[in-house]
Amino acid sequence: MVEKEMISVVYGDGKNHSRVMYTPVPYSKLIERYSSDFLENLTLLKTELKNVQKRSVEHLVVDELYQMTDYETAIDTIKHLIQKSNNSIYLCGWNEIFAILYEDLVAAHERNVKIVSLLFDPPSKEIEWNNTVHFELDIVRERHVREFNIVVDEQKVGNCQFDHENTYSVFTSNLAVVHTTLNYIRHDIYINRLIKDLNKETTKKYGEDLSGLIKM
């Protein structure tokens, strides 16, 4: 209270005037002081707000970003993206999730939505669109475990790690993330096509397990 100048120290009688008493500061002085402080802060706030208003927000873009840790919610979100797709779908992941999305993907394909997919294991359903099955290696399973990525209409993206108990997923329309994920899927497809088409040359140079290529 003394430090806040709300009371004053008064030294009273006693040996060496050691007796200490306190008296409140008159309320009129308190009001005057706090009013002055308030007005100073208010003036500063008004000035800074004007400065903020003057700053350009032309390049400020606020994109949606959703983080989900619930398995069913993440699946439903992907299904919704597929159902609302208009032009294209690029995806990579495991057959377990692909099979859940299969009917929605078929419906999108029948709407003439372009679909390009990469599966890390053989599909359990017949696929009528452009699909690539990843070359099978233990290191592939280790690096891509639980992974699922999807880009819809080159405008929305979902990056997921699926598990019934520990699911981690992010959905956004941020174009940097959209384009990075799209290029990631395309690049993986390109590499798999090259390995398949140049199988003998590839294994001769990098080994049967391709360790010379992928172990970095």
29 shares its domain with 123: no
Residues pairing with 149 in the sheet: 92, 159
Q: What is the pLDDT of residues 78-120, one digit of tens each?
A: 999 999 999 999 999 999 999 999 999 999 999 999 999 999 8
Q: Give the three-class secondary structure for 67.
A: strand
Domain range for 173: 65-214
How many domains does the structure of the chain reveal?
A: 2
**185 domain-assigned:** yes
pTM: 0.68
Alpha helices by DSSP H, 8-130: 27-54, 71-83, 95-110
7 within 8 A of 24, measured Cβ to Cβ = yes
pLDDT band for 190, please (50, 70, 90 cuts).
Answer: confident
> Based on the domain organization, do 150 and 199 belong to the same domain?
yes
For residues 117 and 14, state if they share a domain: no
Confirm whether 157 is domain-assigned: yes
156-169: per-residue pLDDT in tens?
A: 999 999 988 889 99
Q: Is 192 helix (H, G, I), strand (E, B) or coil?
A: helix
In a domain, 2, yes or no: no
**With bands split at pLDDT 50, 70 and 90, how would you rate the model's confidence at 191?**
confident
Query: How confident is residue 170, by pLDDT bands cut at 50, 70 and 90?
Result: very high
124 within a domain of the structure (yes/no):
yes
Instruction: Tell me what pLDDT residue 42 has.
Output: 63
Could you tell me if 152 and 104 lie in one domain? Answer: yes
Q: Is residue 88 within 8 Å of residue 174, measured between CB atoms? A: no
